[in-house]
Amino acid sequence: MEMIVMKKIICLFGIGLMGISATKAQHISLGPEAGLNLYSISERFDGSKESNRLIPGFKIGGVVDFGLTRHFSIQPGMFFTTKGAVDKSTDYTTVGATTTSVTTRDQLWLNYFEVPVNFLYKSNYSHTGRFFAGGGPYMAALLGGKIKNERTRTVSNDNGTTTNHTSNTYSVNIGNNPNTDDIRGGDVGINMQCGYEFRSGLLLRYNLGLGIANVMPAGDADNSMHNIGMSFTVGYLFRVH
């Protein structure tokens, strides 16, 4: 239920903003955009912060650029984007001549439908194009995802080394029940970005995304999960007005 409501809010938010922007725009461009995501999750458990590794992913969608003046524009978009994190740890135990190591690797992939709204400043055109920088909020609805748990147990002693590996993959449970769910269905955050817009319409963008919403089920100030990461994308803008 939470995810359905979030999707409706995002769609209405995007449609309403596009309508307002279109009435005030001096020119309008739109086009596709796609690229690489590198995301992680900033976690806090019982007040202690834990760090995770970046996990690669992708984003694909498009943007509409409403040029309000020569240098300022509003640029909403709609994207299918993947986020997540990798958590890896190794514990060692030695008893006599036997050393046992247990390596655990947890990989989390999350699939979001995301609507960003960026406010951009654009420099004057050179002979090739112009730079831009800015940022703005985003809203996202979690469509689904999966978790892969891997465990490798290695035992070394005078008789040699033996290794046992197990792996399990399952779909994430979406909701706000800490006993049954893995992650909440909605996310809200801030984007900061810069890039270059060529005269031809080609667009290169670097984006830093900082999740504000606590996506941990029933999370609080001492127990939280926040999406954080970056993307490198390529797009193309077609002038339509």
Per-residue pLDDT of the chain (241 residues; tens, 9 = 90+): 555 545 555 554 555 555 545 556 678 899 999 999 999 999 998 888 887 899 999 999 999 999 888 899 999 999 999 999 998 888 888 888 888 888 889 999 999 999 999 999 999 989 999 999 999 999 999 999 999 999 998 888 878 888 898 999 999 999 999 899 999 999 999 999 999 999 999 999 999 999 999 999 998 989 999 999 999 999 999 988 7
Range of the domain at 71: 2-88+106-150+188-239
| pLDDT computed for residue 99 by the predictor | 85
pLDDT in tens, 160-183: 888 898 999 999 999 999 899 999
| pLDDT computed for residue 2 by the predictor | 53
Q: How far apart are CA 148 and CA 122, in angstroms?
A: 42
pTM, rounded to two decimals: 0.85
Cβ–Cβ < 8 Å for 75, 118: yes
Does 61 map to a domain?
yes
Does 35 map to a domain?
yes
- H-run or E-run covering 11: helix 2-24
Does 183 map to a domain?
no
Does 178 map to a domain?
no
Domains: count for the chain? 1
Residue 97 CB contacts under 8 Å (≥ 6 apart), including other chains: 157, 158
| pLDDT computed for residue 20 by the predictor | 47
Does 27 map to a domain?
yes
Could you tell me how far CA 8 lies from the centroid of its own chain?
A: 20
C-alpha closest to that of 201 among 241, 234, 179: 234
pLDDT in tens, 21-44: 555 667 889 999 999 999 999 999
Q: What is the CATH number of the domain that holds 57?
A: 2.40.160.20
